[in-house]
Amino acid sequence: MPTTGHRQVEHEITIEAPAQSVYDLIADVVNWPQIFPPTIYVDHLGSTGAQERIQISATANGKVKTWTSRRILDPGLLRVEFRQEVSAPPVASMGGTWIIEPLDGKRSRVRLLHDYRAIGDDPKALAWIDEAVDRNSRSELGALKSNVERVHSDHDLTFSFTDSVHVNGSSKDLYDFVNAADLWPERLPHVAEVVLEEETPGLQTLEMRTRAKDGSVHTTKSHRICIEHHKIAYKQVTLPALLALHTGYWTFEEGPRGVTASSQHTVVLNTENIARILGENATVADARSYVQGALSANSLATLNYAKAHAEALQ
């Protein structure tokens, strides 16, 4: 492989699911944080016909990067073309195509093509991009396969829920409370310790030790995308034993009678640990109830402390 110039690479995988189902998941960017491990948050910026603009925040070699892309959707040919409109350094340009090919009625092949350049055709930067593209492509295709096949086999493992409180305060004060997670050990009884990193404003890595009702302490790590005064989206990369995936977001919506502050969660259960954590007779339904109860308890505690903080500032 050459060390400079324009790079073109291809990765592929075979999935035990119909091609149309695979295309639908790739085409709807709302699914991406739940499907692709590197993807933290995707914001739909608008569309015209088959073309759309999206902003993606994802990890690349362990670093959070944000970029804007244009996509062209072709449901007839089961293809999605993409081109980064604003790339994140050291990438000068990046584009490619998802191609979904039916093998039979139940199986499909997914090809993921990339073409890219490094800023100044720098060999070291290009090598960094090579590694990131290869790692992310393999990760994305593997995750796409497992997630699509799981959707077809068991719908009960993935679920979402939202907790909300009404606040007679400002969205800015609520946002600031949740954004300043480094202060949570002083402000939230269930938070024992926090390490917050924010090299780029609005892109945070949050490592946190929290106390459960039974007194046990759990360590989680999340990447967070902070959209000032409006939303904080996150994805856990170090998970509790009962979870295979956990994404979510905090939102602060102004209304005529105050602010609605909400915490949304989407989780996938890790069935391998249900018996160990909840007992040999525990079911998927038991795990769903336990996980939702634990996450809601922490979310509502945080929301209510944020509410008290915001209302005290009025």
Residue 163 sits in the same domain as residue 68: no
Structure tokens at 140: 């994305």
Residue 175 belongs to a domain: yes
Look at the block and give the residue holding tokens 């160990």: 276
Same domain, 59 and 76: yes
- The pLDDT value recorded for residue 143 is 87
CA 111, 116, 117: angle at the middle one, nearest 5?
165
Q: Which two tokens stand for residue 4?
A: 């400079």
Both 164 and 305 in one domain: the answer is yes
Q: Examine the domain organization and report whether 286 and 170 are in the same domain.
A: yes
Considering the domain architecture, whether residues 241 and 145 belong to the same structural domain is answered as no
Picking from 153, 168, 201, the residue at the C-terminal end of a domain is: 153
Residues 180 and 248 in one domain: yes
Q: Do 114 and 11 share a structural domain?
A: yes
Answer yes or no: is 2 within a domain: no
Q: Which of 153, 188, 221 is the last residue of a domain?
A: 153
Q: How many other CB atoms are there within 10 angstroms of residue 104's CB atom?
A: 8
Does 51 map to a domain? Answer: yes
Q: Both 146 and 162 in a single domain?
A: no
Domain count of the chain?
A: 2
Task: Quote the tokens at residue 181.
Answer: 């997670």
Dump pLDDT digits (tens) for 89-102. Answer: 999 999 999 999 99
pTM of the model: 0.82
Could you list the residue range(s) of the whole structural domain that residue 39 is in? Answer: 7-153
The dihedral built from the CA positions of residue 298, 221, 33 and 44, taken in this order, carries a sign that is positive
Residue with tokens 């809601």: 296
CATH number of the structural domain spanning residue 300 = 3.30.530.20
Q: Identify the CA nearest to 206 among candidates 242, 228, 238.
A: 238
In degrees and rounded to multiples of 5, residue 31 shows phi and psi of -75, -20
What does the pLDDT read at residue 65? 87
Q: How far apart, in whole angstroms, are the C-alpha atoms of residue 10 and residue 28? A: 22
Taking the CA of residue 169 as centre, how many other CA atoms within 13 Å lie in the half-sphere pointing to its CB?
Answer: 25
58-114 tens-digit pLDDT? 988 778 888 899 999 999 999 999 999 988 899 999 999 999 999 998 899 999 999
Instruction: Give yes or no for a contact between 60 and 136, defined as CB atoms under 8 angstroms apart.
Output: yes
Q: Which residues of 192-207 are buried (b: 16+ CB within 10 A; e: fewer)?
A: eebebebeeeebbbbb
Verify that 119 and 45 share a domain, yes or no: yes
Q: Which segments in the chain show pLDDT lower than 70?
A: 1-5, 152-155
User: What distance in Å separates the CA atoms of residue 66 and residue 33, rounded to the nearest whole number?
Assistant: 14
Of 153, 173, 203, the last residue of a domain is 153
What pLDDT does residue 3 have? Answer: 47
